[in-house]
Chains A and B, each alone.
Chain A
Amino acid sequence: MKGYIKPSPVIILLGMLLLFACARDAKEENTNVPLYIRQPAHFPKPVYTFDNNPPTRSGFELGKRLFFDPILSLDQQVSCGTCHAASAAFADPRSTAVSKGVFGRSGLRNTPALANLIWYPHFNQDGGINHIEVQPVAPINDSLELGVGIANAVRILQNHPEYPGLFERAFDSDSVTAARILWAFAQFMGALVSDNAPIDAFHRDNKPLPEKAMRGKVIFDESCAGCHSGVLQTDFSFKNNGLNMGSNDIGRAEVTGNIQDEGRFRVPSLRNVEYTAPYMHHGQLNTLNDVIEAYSTSIAAHPNLDPNLPVGGFDFSSQQKEDLYQFLLQLSDQTFVNQSF
């Protein structure tokens, strides 16, 4: 047979030596290669730098499998991917106002899109979670989302026919721990980089936007970018935008206990916003045009309303509304939503 190497004594000796050496070291070398995670030049420095969790192909693959596997839900029907689907920029493709978890239970908030999470200083719309690695503990424990519980999740995966082997590949040990589950999730979610929208070409290569969108950008920069700033369209602050529309969710105050934080929510990134309807923390606005209309005519007075927002609204002309709408479409990254998982 062509290419067949005759087993010379040296090779046999080598083979025996390797057998006596820890088998797992050899295995790691063979299957687990570092994963390159893109850091676009026009983005700021990431917050999460994978310091204790170097991303690898096997770690990413494990995280991806966990993300889409309903095994981590109480009714075995729901996965992270049920609420966060690639086709909806990792928001909910079912367009429910608030999330729907195990046994069809309604959650408390609208499901946000997931992208560029390694640039996030905190997570959730009240900023309650301080690190990308611990974020998945919340949906795993929450009886309105996956509900299986993190301690249970460890047991289920440890007793599974395939998962221990996948942990072995990713972490050099087939013992499943909560930390390893979380590191795998962070590798998968951290790799979800969206940097290929027309707005990126504009920032990166000075490629102009279509004319209406260019005009929309001027309006956006003046009226919106005070909060929705930078390439991620957010400064990650907590603001009351006057559009809570009867939602009794106290938002940031849930975490801080301060009444000045009532009705404040994290300023969201608007990347891929075209695909993530409905909008706001409670899904109270159905379409992007509804959002623009609401900023134009329905900003409600509130003790915590941000001073940059005029009570009543910006009173945009129909031309301005159309231009703003065209601008928001420039934040859509089609390569990102068309990835197959």
Chain B
Amino acid sequence: MKRFNSNFKGWLFMLPAILIFSLTACSDDDDNGNGNGDAAASVTIKFDHGWGPNHLPFAINTALMHPATQEEITFTKLRYYVTNIELHKADGTVWKEDESYRIVTVEGNSSVQELTVPNVPPGEYSAVKFMIGVDEDRNTSGAQEGALSPAENMFWDWSTGYIFFKAEGMSPAAPNGQFMYHIGGFEDPHNAIRTTTIAFGEQRLNVVAASNPSIHLKVNSARFWHGGISLADVFSIHMPGPNATTIADNWIGAFRFDHLHN
């Protein structure tokens, strides 16, 4: 199939078009994408991981005593999807981020992980909402890019679906000394997708042009074991099911508001 007319007169006709095209084609996309021409504002969300309701220090590869179950637990991995971020205003209006898919990975000695949400329209926001997991649509529509790439290894290949979060490590409480929670499932009755709306109380996140305010959240990494679940009971989950939904219920409760920086 020939797409370009090889007839020379055809080219001449296209000359003005080519001129305009060549002037604009390669310009870097420095538009902020929110369409209103303002300099972009971005919002940072900080996930500050602690241990237990008193937010004791948390780190990977460190033995910790669970405050409720009294089990000794050492994480080797903690990764989770934070997706479909929304910012809510007190009047009920909602801004939704497009293509909102990220993975939080807790690594090394750093217990604070930051996400940057670009191109947030100016306004005073009273709450943030996000999903821990991946919506059904992206679980069922084939190859995805970015944080949803199967190369992130947060993906079940033999029974299609994203692994919403992975918590792995060691514990003398587990029969084989190890625990592995790979939690996912987007279909009823084992739907493990959870969302949380975190309100800022009386405070407001002030987004103005070119600013970068931040939302500081505390994450209780001990929260997997909650509501009577101990690691000795549940130490290996590798597919959707009732155990996965229970742990998903627990983990969504790990996220709470701490403070804002405007």
Contact B143 A21 (CB under 8 A): no
Nearest Cβ on chain A to B239's Cβ, whole angstroms: 7
Residue of A nearest to B145 (CB): A179
Produce 1/0 per residue, B211-228, CB < 8 A to A. Answer: 000000000000000000
Q: Which range holds the interface residue count of chain A?
A: 35 or more
Give the distance in Å from the alpha carbon of A254 to the alpha carbon of B26 in the complex: 51
Give the distance in Å from the alpha carbon of A17 to the alpha carbon of B12 in the complex: 13
Which residues of the other chain, A, contact B25 by a CB distance below 8 angstroms?
Answer: 21-22, 25
Question: A37 near B: Cβ within 8 Å?
Answer: no
Question: B201 near A: Cβ within 8 Å?
Answer: no
Which residues of the other chain, B, contact A186 by a CB distance below 8 angstroms?
Answer: 142-143
Residue of B nearest to A5 (CB): B8
Which residues of the other chain, A, contact B12 by a CB distance below 8 angstroms?
Answer: 10
Contact B142 A182 (CB under 8 A): yes
Which residues of the other chain, B, contact A255 by a CB distance below 8 angstroms?
Answer: 159
Question: A141 near B: Cβ within 8 Å?
Answer: yes
Known: A138-B158, A150-B150. A131 touches B241 (CB 8 A): no
Question: A245 near B: Cβ within 8 Å?
Answer: no
Give the distance in Å from the alpha carbon of A72 to the alpha carbon of B178 in the complex: 32
Stretch at the interface among B14-22, B51-59, B191-199: B14-22
Which residues of the other chain, B, contact A154 by a CB distance below 8 angstroms?
Answer: 151
A18, A128, A132, A254 interface centre (most CB from chain B within 10 Å): A128
Residue of A nearest to B159 (CB): A128
Produce 1/0 per residue, B1-36, CB < 8 A to A. Answer: 101100000011001001101100110000000000
Which residues of the other chain, B, contact A134 by a CB distance below 8 angstroms?
Answer: 142-143, 150, 155, 157, 160
Question: A129 near B: Cβ within 8 Å?
Answer: yes
Contact B26 A21 (CB under 8 A): yes
Partner of B241, one of A126, A254, A257: A257
Nearest Cβ on chain B to A121's Cβ, whole angstroms: 11
Contact A52 B158 (CB under 8 A): no
Contact A182 B143 (CB under 8 A): yes
Give the distance in Å from the alpha carbon of A255 to the alpha carbon of B22 in the complex: 53
What are 22 A-B contacts defined by CB distance under 8 Å?
A14-B15, A17-B18, A21-B26, A22-B25, A128-B158, A128-B159, A129-B157, A131-B140, A131-B141, A131-B142, A131-B143, A134-B157, A134-B160, A137-B157, A138-B158, A150-B153, A177-B145, A178-B149, A178-B151, A182-B143, A182-B150, A183-B143
By a beta-carbon cutoff of 8 Å, the part of chain A in contact with chain B is: 10, 14, 17-18, 20-22, 25, 29, 33-34, 52-53, 124, 126, 128-134, 137-138, 141-142, 150-151, 154, 177-179, 182-183, 186, 254-255, 257
